[in-house]
Amino acid sequence: MSDSSKGGSHPSEDQKKAMYEGLSDDQKKKQTYTEWVKDAYNNQYENWMPWIEDKYLAWFGTDNKASYATKDTLDKTKITGISQVDKLQDGVNNLVGDQIGKDGLLAPVGNMASKEGINRAERGGKDESGSYGGPASNYTDPVVKNAQGAGQGLAGGAQSAGGAVTDGAKGAGSYVSGMFGGGKKE
């Protein structure tokens, strides 16, 4: 039974392979088919999950992500273990969280924190269109991408330098232990 007969709009495995085969040779050299599929899945997840979470909270409650996170964090602060005090604390926690929720006095602040703060954090700093800078994205996106590339280069250099230091220390350690009879016994 094909995916189209199930009513789904997901590409079949053959369609995915055809899309991969349509990539340029340079792109194929950068990624195997499995890596390419994994990246495509991660991109879709990054795009859709914040939206799904927002819709779930809107349909099944009075919270946005900011109020939900506030209530959740405050719920972890219970310290007394006395039921009356815990109930009072629950009421205060809900009061604070509800103020930045759907119908609260600070709902615009909560909505902005949810959309521009929490959702961007979940998407690695990007907005729902995949841009880092919103209206200024023509200027900011290239800067961010260049900075990410430089950071990866520095990390790779530090990693290889660290590996060389570690290898040197291992070699010195085996030399010293061999000197004192701690070497391999046969």
pLDDT in tens, 136-157: 656 665 665 666 565 555 455 5
pLDDT of residue 54: 84
CA–CA separation, 176 vs 74, rounded Å? Answer: 54
pLDDT of residue 164: 47
**Quick check: 119 and 65 in contact, CB under 8 A?**
yes
pLDDT in tens, 66-108: 888 888 888 888 877 888 888 898 899 889 888 888 888 988 9
pLDDT of residue 23: 81
pLDDT of residue 159: 53
Give the pair of three-digit tokens for residue 37.
């599929």
DSSP code, position 11: P
